[in-house]
Chain A
Amino acid sequence: MESEIVFLALDRFLVVLYGFTGHPVSDYFLGTFILALAAVLLGELTVALAFQANRKHIEALNDRLNSLQRLSLAALEAGERERYRALNKEANDAFGKVFFNAAALSAAYLWPVPFALGWMQLRFADVHIPLPFTPLAANYLVVFLLFYVPARLLFAAVRPKLPYFGRIQRVLASYRSTAGAGGEAAQQRGKVG
């Protein structure tokens, strides 16, 4: 079975994460947190590389969308309903491209997660942590997701201080501030990049 071959190959490296304390439950939680943190790091690294490779294309798509949105709102403010509708429709098409491009790029953020979950399924499919006073139990998927969220928050908190990731974050933040306000943020992007 292809899955088993792949995940067994990962097993010898990943299982090391689950043996730090010698206490099975603590090892399970600590190991899963480290695994989640590694998945976050790997995803962030990939998206940073992808962003650098496709920067021009992403900028062109975002600029077109932002410009159309800005124009449609200006038309609305000017009371030109027909023009607003035409521009809104154009912005709709431009958004389609931005959204599906983001869909493809989001794969870069999250690709390590299914691999981590696939390995956990092989190792911990039978481990169910009972939830107090309920007939419910948390399987490997729930445990991983519960540790993935704090891992992501932890990374977000330290990212500005990390050399490479901090720089990429500043560029991405300039896109957010763009949100239609055009030139200034674009100039800033130029400075940061």
Chain B
Amino acid sequence: MKKNRLWNALVLVMLSSLLVALVLGAGGVGAQTPAPQAAGKVGDTLGVPGKIGKAIAEAPLGTGKGQIDPGAPRGWLGIPGAPQVNPVVTFLWAVWVGWIFATVGAFGGVMAGVGHVTVYGLGAYTAAFKETAPTLNRLLTDSIRVSNQFLALLSSLVSSVNYYRMRRLVWPLGLALGAGSILGAILVPWLSGGKVTLSQYQGWFGLFVLLVGIILLYETTPRGQARRKAASEAARAFEKAIGEKGAETAQGVKVTRWNPSRVHFTFCGVEFSFNPLWPVLGGFVIAAISSFIGAGGGFLYVPFLTSIVGLPMFIVAGTSALTVFISMVSSITAYIKIAGAGIDWLLVGTQLVGVFVGSLIGPRTQKYIPDVWLKRLFVLLAFYVGLGYFSKGFFGRAWVPM
């Protein structure tokens, strides 16, 4: 209770300080003068903010591919001549993504990425600048990566708040994972922001999708099915044995003692402990991978904490949601601030509405398709999409029509 009050007071003080700073700043207190900016080939940012505007100024002027025509109607990110992302297409694709989120899970994030790169035409537009304006090509690639991460950011924010209220966050675990993930999520944009071309991104994204496909395929094989069946049977048998008198879980988590090499906490009267170095390392590696690919990483944190660190799912769920949130805030801020990636708010908003509608439809259609067939469908899709991006990105030509 005392800790809660302290936490609330801290948040209130921080928020009030920021609001006071805003009011003082608006009144001209402590004003600083900005540095002047340079121009390039197009000769002007054409009103596009940030580093993308500067890269446009450096891009070749013209009406061809890989050129900027200042007179053309503005499209994605307000760039003249960029694809006009059709809100109806965006909405329908997002409904499909939301449907997958509600029925299969993680594969929805992959399909969101496919939407940005292929369906909305952003990949083809970005690729056209590979030779003519490499900086613009890389910055637009970063913008696509950021768009992919927005859904993960928003969902982890809502989940973290809910789990915090349920007293299901282990703060030393969250801090250790968070420290590692902040490092990974800032380091990757810092090292790769503005340096990764669309082809390279497509190649790695394809490889990632292929790996997801292999995991999904394993789950549909007789061996994968048998493992699940055995676990389900164990669950059922145990449930019968203990009836409803299971563990009392309403007590929450209590950290009993900690030092730099070991953290001990109790949960439902059972003591757990872990070495904080593992979550720091795991957080770093997972955040670095997710930041590069443009994914949330929640599907990696959970198996890492349950299988490698050996913690119960009950606690892992909330802590991993908080870590995804921390790493997504770090990664998105780093891409926007360090790499200068832009955001198309209409695209993000339309996608959220579509995902929401898809999530309403999902449960209503799920009962007509068996789980295993749904997985098989997504195995096919994962191999098709993964192979397509992998070959296009690393070998310059897609091995499957796309």
Q: Are A102 and B250 in contact (CB under 8 A)?
A: no
A68 partner, pick from B32, B235, B321, beta carbons under 8 A: B235
How far is A130 from B16 in the complex, measured between Cα atoms in Å? 17
How far is A65 from B228 in the complex, measured between Cα atoms in Å? 15
Q: Find the B residue at minimum CB distance from A179.
A: B166
Knowing A50-B356, A57-B363 are in contact, say whether A7-B346 is a contact too (CB < 8 A): yes
A-side interface size class? 35 or more
Q: Are B249 and A180 in contact (CB under 8 A)?
A: yes
On chain B, the residues within 8 Å of A70 by CB distance are 246-247, 249
How far is A28 from B22 in the complex, measured between Cα atoms in Å? 11
B75 partner, pick from A1, A29, A99, A138, beta carbons under 8 A: A1
Query: Hey, what's the 0/1 contact readout for B305-327 against A, CB within 8 Å counting as 1?
Result: 01100001110110001000000
Knowing A3-B345, A103-B151, A138-B22 are in contact, say whether A96-B106 is a contact too (CB < 8 A): yes
24 contacts between A and B (CB under 8 A): A3-B78, A29-B23, A50-B360, A67-B239, A70-B246, A70-B247, A70-B249, A73-B314, A87-B235, A90-B235, A95-B313, A96-B105, A98-B317, A99-B298, A103-B101, A103-B152, A108-B359, A109-B154, A114-B348, A129-B25, A143-B22, A179-B249, A181-B248, A182-B244
8 new A-B contacts at CB < 8 Å, known A87-B234, A103-B108: A1-B84, A7-B346, A73-B249, A86-B234, A99-B302, A99-B317, A100-B105, A146-B19
B249 partner, pick from A69, A105, A108, beta carbons under 8 A: A69
Query: Hey, what's the 0/1 contact readout for B72-100 against A, CB within 8 Å counting as 1?
Result: 01110010000011110000000000100
Instruction: Pick the interface stretch among B157-165, B203-211, B391-399.
Output: B157-165
How far is A146 from B267 in the complex, measured between Cα atoms in Å? 36
Knowing A99-B105, A104-B362 are in contact, say whether A130-B32 is a contact too (CB < 8 A): yes
Instruction: Pick the interface stretch among A13-21, A74-82, A157-165.
Output: A74-82
Query: Hey, what's the 0/1 contact readout for B134-169 against A, CB within 8 Å counting as 1?
Result: 000000000000000001101101110010011010
Q: Are A71 and B302 in contact (CB under 8 A)?
A: no
Query: Hey, what's the 0/1 contact readout for B266-287 against A, CB within 8 Å counting as 1?
Result: 0111100000000000000000
Question: Does B28 reach chain A (CB closer than 8 Å)?
Answer: yes
How far is A159 from B165 in the complex, measured between Cα atoms in Å? 16
Q: Are B234 and A181 in contact (CB under 8 A)?
A: no
Q: Are A74 and B242 in contact (CB under 8 A)?
A: yes
How far is A71 from B246 in the complex, measured between Cα atoms in Å? 6
Knowing A87-B238, A100-B102 are in contact, say whether A107-B306 is a contact too (CB < 8 A): no
Question: Does A177 reach chain B (CB closer than 8 Å)?
Answer: yes
Question: What's the least CB distance linking B270 to chain A, in Å?
Answer: 5
On chain B, the residues within 8 Å of A111 by CB distance are 349, 352-353, 356
On chain B, the residues within 8 Å of A68 by CB distance are 235, 313
How far is A7 from B349 in the complex, measured between Cα atoms in Å? 12
Question: Does A41 reach chain B (CB closer than 8 Å)?
Answer: no
Query: Hey, what's the 0/1 contact readout for A105-125 against B, CB within 8 Å counting as 1?
Result: 111111111110110010001
Question: Does B218 reach chain A (CB closer than 8 Å)?
Answer: no
On chain B, the residues within 8 Å of A114 by CB distance are 345-346, 348-349, 352
Question: What's the least CB distance linking B177 to chain A, in Å?
Answer: 16
Question: What's the least CB distance linking A176 to chain B, in Å?
Answer: 5
Question: What's the least CB distance linking B81 to chain A, in Å?
Answer: 11
On chain B, the residues within 8 Å of A29 by CB distance are 22-23, 26
Among B49, B151, B244, B352, chain A packs the most CB atoms within 10 A around the CB of B352
Residues from 146 to 182 in A contacting B, C-beta threshold 8 Å: 146, 149-150, 176-177, 179-182
Question: Does B115 reach chain A (CB closer than 8 Å)?
Answer: no
B356 partner, pick from A105, A113, A130, beta carbons under 8 A: A105
Question: What's the least CB distance linking B162 to chain A, in Å?
Answer: 7
Q: Are A180 and B246 in contact (CB under 8 A)?
A: yes
Query: Hey, what's the 0/1 contact readout for A24-40 against B, CB within 8 Å counting as 1?
Result: 01001100000000000
Knowing A71-B239, A103-B155, A110-B154 are in contact, say whether A77-B268 is a contact too (CB < 8 A): yes
Q: Find the B residue at minimum CB distance from A68.
A: B235
Residues from 17 to 53 in B contacting A, C-beta threshold 8 Å: 18-19, 21-32, 34, 49
Q: Find the A residue at minimum CB distance from B367.
A: A57
A46 partner, pick from B165, B346, B349, B356, beta carbons under 8 A: B356
The 6 A-B residue pairs whose C-beta atoms are closest, nearest first, are: A118-B345, A104-B359, A103-B155, A180-B249, A132-B30, A57-B363
On chain B, the residues within 8 Å of A86 by CB distance are 230-231, 234-235
Question: What's the least CB distance linking B151 to chain A, in Å?
Answer: 6
On chain B, the residues within 8 Å of A109 by CB distance are 154, 158
Question: Does B355 reach chain A (CB closer than 8 Å)?
Answer: yes
Q: Find the A residue at minimum CB distance from B108.
A: A100
Q: Are A93 and B157 in contact (CB under 8 A)?
A: no
Question: Does B299 reach chain A (CB closer than 8 Å)?
Answer: yes
Q: Are B22 and A99 in contact (CB under 8 A)?
A: no
Question: What's the least CB distance linking A112 to chain B, in Å?
Answer: 8
Q: Find the A residue at minimum CB distance from B359.
A: A104
A54 partner, pick from B15, B31, B306, B360, beta carbons under 8 A: B360
Q: Find the A residue at minimum CB distance from B33.
A: A135
Residues from 328 to 356 in B contacting A, C-beta threshold 8 Å: 344-346, 348-349, 351-353, 355-356
Question: What's the least CB distance linking B382 to chain A, in Å?
Answer: 16
A146 partner, pick from B15, B30, B34, B152, beta carbons under 8 A: B15
How far is A95 from B101 in the complex, measured between Cα atoms in Å? 13
